[in-house]
Amino acid sequence: MLKQLIAVISMSLQTVPQRLGASSVIVIGIAGVVAVLVSVLAMGAGFKHTLADSGRDDRVIILRGGSDAELNSNLTRTDIDTIGNAPGLAKDAAGKALLSSELVTVVNVPKLDTGTDANVTMRGVGLKVIEVRPEVKIVSGKMFRPAVRELIAGVGAAKLFRGLNVGSVLRLRNADWTVTGIFSSNGDVHESELLADVDTVGSSIERTGYSSAVGLLTSAAAFTAFKDSLTSDPQLKVDVVREREYYAKQSAGLTKTINIVGTTVAVIMAIGAMFGALNTMYSAVAARGLEIATLRAIGFGALPVLFGVMIESLLLALLGGVIGASLAWMFFNGHTVSTLGAAFAQVVFQLIVTDTLIITGIVWACIIGLLGGFFPALRAARLPVAEALRAG
């Protein structure tokens, strides 16, 4: 049985070059499906990755009670002072709490490729920002100074928006701002932002108060005590959220949409590719009718013939899957794009073709190949031997 199977498979594979045109239909059809599936899902994976990386378990974000996002939130200076005294916050050498009071607003910066204005987040941050967010590193230029209109731009923003180079001057909200540096932040969402001194941003947009406060805790376990002390304070109406949860929530909707759309399109394409595979394998079986009948006549079983056809289809599909996944990886892995995030501002992210996605693509390819090979294989196995020999 196994010997027969090997013989049948090697025979069918040897004849593939004679049916190159038809066989390429399976390969190319499935490569198309897998390339589209993997590329679209890579978009979802990249977006999720960017936002998931934006949080640490031992970092908290404090918003006005009921505010879903920083843009809707407002905290007063007194609120900030109260929050700074809450237990659980890490302290610097001088004993000051590691808390960054932040003011988030939106500015218009043209996109490099299209030149159209896009909403970019401008985040005013407290002096403690580098200690609160140790992952923020200046990659070129230097840090902004407080009290002057200077800002640093994230590497993601610098890549996609115009005029974000060290030393260049930007006109934002009727004021000239100098870009003093470019920073990286571990690939997270803040790389899409502009950072500047919080009070300078506040005076520039004529706003008092803050959007949020971001604090580093002594440990992830200190969260509950910290939260309880703030939420039980009758003077204060705030929501305390772990930073990781705050950003994970923002990615949930879009990631889900991308995955649904990508899968739907790929399923439709897969059905089309399956018809193509059926076509190819039926014509392969027809072309090799005489050969198959001869095999049956000299004692080969129906099962090896069935498996032979299915395995040919499967191997062609596998080749298509590998080509499709490779194309997606070559063209789109690390490709930088941006979209409108939950805060109505651009979030810059990179497409990531993960191992899981490549495997998913190849599994899809195999399923299409098996489905497309099954019915033709059945026909081959049931071929009436005498008739086929006579017709040949």
Q: For residue 119, state whether it binds another protein (rule: CB under 8 A).
A: yes
CB neighbourhood size of 323 (10 A): 18
Nearer to another protein, 85 or 339 (CB): 339
Alpha-carbon Rg for the chain in angstroms: 30
In this chain, which of 35, 62, 157, 371 binds another protein, going by CB under 8 A? 35
Q: Segment 145-174, which members bind another protein (CB under 8 A)?
A: 173-174
Q: Encoding tokens for residue 207? A: 């706003």
**Close Cβ partners of 136 (under 8 Å, ≥ 6 residues apart):** 129, 130, 183, 184, 185, 190, 195
CA separation for the pair 87, 217 (Å, rounded): 9
Applying CB under 8 A, which part among 70-78, 84-92, 300-308, 361-369 lies near another protein?
Answer: 70-78
Nearer to another protein, 143 or 175 (CB): 175
Backbone angles phi, psi at 78, to 5 degrees: -65, -40
Q: For residue 369, state whether it binds another protein (rule: CB under 8 A).
A: no
CA separation for the pair 92, 38 (Å, rounded): 46
Q: For residue 116, state whether it binds another protein (rule: CB under 8 A).
A: yes
CA separation for the pair 87, 225 (Å, rounded): 7
Instruction: List the one residue out of 30, 8, 121 whose CA is nearest residue 369.
Output: 30
CB neighbourhood size of 217 (10 A): 23
In this chain, which of 15, 67, 178, 218 binds another protein, going by CB under 8 A? 67
Q: For residue 311, state whether it binds another protein (rule: CB under 8 A).
A: no
Q: For residue 25, state whether it binds another protein (rule: CB under 8 A).
A: yes
Q: Segment 237-256, which members bind another protein (CB under 8 A)?
A: 237
Nearer to another protein, 46 or 181 (CB): 46
The amino acid at 176: D
In this chain, which of 10, 78, 85, 108 binds another protein, going by CB under 8 A? 108
In this chain, which of 263, 279, 294, 354 binds another protein, going by CB under 8 A? 279
Q: For residue 72, state whether it binds another protein (rule: CB under 8 A).
A: yes
Least Cβ distance, residue 58 to another protein (angstroms): 27
Instruction: List the one residue out of 322, 292, 304, 299 whose CA is nearest residue 383.
Output: 292
Helix axes 355-382, 243-287, angle to 10 degrees: 20
Nearer to another protein, 297 or 340 (CB): 340
Q: For residue 268, state whether it binds another protein (rule: CB under 8 A).
A: yes
In this chain, which of 145, 146, 336, 344 binds another protein, going by CB under 8 A? 344
Q: For residue 337, state whether it binds another protein (rule: CB under 8 A).
A: yes
3-state secondary structure of 150: strand
CA separation for the pair 123, 157 (Å, rounded): 13
3-state secondary structure of 55: coil
Q: For residue 24, state whether it binds another protein (rule: CB under 8 A).
A: yes
In this chain, which of 8, 155, 189, 273 binds another protein, going by CB under 8 A? 273
Q: For residue 233, state whether it binds another protein (rule: CB under 8 A).
A: no
- How many amino acids of this chain bind another protein (CB under 8 A)? 53
CA separation for the pair 18, 286 (Å, rounded): 14
Q: Encoding tokens for residue 384? A: 């009436």
Whole-number Cα distances in Å, 159 to 91, 270, 338, 349: 35, 35, 10, 11
- The answer to whether 215 and 99 have CB atoms below 8 angstroms apart is yes
Q: For residue 276, state whether it binds another protein (rule: CB under 8 A).
A: yes
Least Cβ distance, residue 39 to another protein (angstroms): 8
Nearer to another protein, 108 or 356 (CB): 108
In this chain, which of 50, 101, 105, 211 binds another protein, going by CB under 8 A? 105
Contacts with another protein, residue ranges (CB under 8 A)? 21-22, 24-25, 28-29, 31-33, 35-36, 39-40, 65-68, 71-72, 74, 105-108, 116, 118-119, 173-174, 205-206, 237, 265, 268-269, 271-273, 275-276, 278-280, 282-283, 337-340, 343-346
